[in-house]
Amino acid sequence: MPILAKYQHALKMLDLRPLDEHSTLFRDTWALIELRNALVHFKPTWDPDRQRKIELIEVLADRFPQSPFPTLARIL
């Protein structure tokens, strides 16, 4: 069972309202979990799970300021 599903289940068991799956908090939490999984369980870009990575990039795009350090893509 995914982490967020477990968390939602725990909230229900405690008679608390589950998180709204369309809320910013839920989406941000999902994005952080996906980022962690992408870093820990790296797969090449040609894997079939690529659409999920594209969604993660879209969610994280405006969350953090761009690094002042040049990336390899900007150098080349």
Whole-prediction pTM: 0.53
Name the more confident of 64 and 3. Answer: 3
Residue 6 predicted with pLDDT over 60: yes
The 3-class SS string of 28-73 reads HHHHHHHHHHHHHCCCCCCCCCHHHHHHHHHHHCCCCCCCCCCCHH
User: What pLDDT shows up at residue 75?
Assistant: 47
Residue 76's pLDDT band, with cuts at 50, 70 and 90, is very low
* C-alpha dist (Å) from residue 69 to 24, 35, 64: 29, 20, 14
Least confident of 21-25, 49-53, 55-59: 49-53
What's the average model confidence in pLDDT over 27-33? 89
25 DSSP assignment: H
